[in-house]
Amino acid sequence: MDLTLVVLAAGMGSRYGGNKQLDGIGPNGEIIMDYSIHDAIEAGFTKVVFIIRTDLKEAFENHYKERFKGKIKMEYAFQNEYTKHTAAYEANRKKPWGTTHAVLAARHLINEPFVVINADDYYGQESFAEVVDAMKNLKDNEYLIMGYKLENTLSDHGTVNRGVCQVDDNMHLIGIKETLAIGKENGVISYQEGGQRHELSPNTYVSMNFFGFPPSVLPLFEEKFIEFVQQNNEDPKAECFMPVEVGNLMKEGKAVVKVVPTTASWLGVTYKEDKEHVVAGINKMIADGLYPKEIK
């Protein structure tokens, strides 16, 4: 089946301090996205859509001028140009409207089942094969979330935000909560809420914004985003998080969300200090024969 990979790459990288999406971590200047696209091609994806800002367009096009040529179709969508529902409020905004808005910016390019990932996360080879297999019989009201174990998704250099999943015995999602400032200290994982730290199990399933959707989700996302803008247009920092809206659709009975468990370990660059760990992890996988020395 035709399957599109949607890459969220318009983030400002404020905690990292630069355009982390284009920061080379491989031996030949490969970036994290290159390894995700390589894994997606191997798993059978036929198209990739990058959601970026207009100021990143030239850098992206230069990076991908020859890379993956003839292996997968590449297209671009620009989140900062998608103002269909926000034009009246853009003057007060200093940051994007969130991941739901980002996906809607690419709506005109998506006509087939699609998978959404972050540009700055490494998800593991097996996870792409797992999501493709799980999407083969996906119905219009069924969505997928790759479920990573929380302990496999933390940074040693600061806190992270994660969509924490509650699942039933059939691995169906019961609820999802965007949980902020998750960190590990003295062997205990906890998050910040209400001025206090609250403990989490290391085996808690979390979303790494690795979702699988039928195209029928897009008009529902648009409805949710319109509601969000109406309720939050006076808050210049409010973001419409895709995991939250998926949870809302599920609560309203409009969707069944299946959690696809994976034991894959996440690699990502949230902070500058994370880069050394990611580089070491990639080099080890190359040495182990999991990746070629050059991704092209």
Per-residue model confidence as pLDDT tens digits over 144-178: 999 999 999 998 888 988 889 889 999 999 987 88
Report all structural domains of the chain as residue ranges with CATH numbers, in order of start.
4-287 (3.90.550.10)
Residues 74 and 68: their CA atoms lie apart, in Å, by 9
The encoded tokens of residue 75 equal 């297209």
Q: Which pLDDT score, from 0 to 100, does residue 273 have?
A: 80
pLDDT < 70 positions in the chain: 12-22
Q: Which pLDDT score, from 0 to 100, does residue 14 have?
A: 44
Residues 226 and 6: their CA atoms lie apart, in Å, by 21
The encoded tokens of residue 272 equal 């500058």
Judged on CB neighbours under 10 Å (0-12, 13-18, 19+), 65 is exposed
Residues 216 and 224: their CA atoms lie apart, in Å, by 14
Q: Which pLDDT score, from 0 to 100, does residue 12 have?
A: 44
> How far are the Cα atoms of 10, 18, 78, 163, 242 from residue 15, in angstroms, in the given order?
14, 8, 22, 18, 20
- Residue 73 sits at φ, ψ, to 5 deg, of -75, 140
Q: Which pLDDT score, from 0 to 100, does residue 21 have?
A: 52
Q: Which pLDDT score, from 0 to 100, does residue 205 have?
A: 93
Strand ranges (E), 91-134? 114-118, 121-122
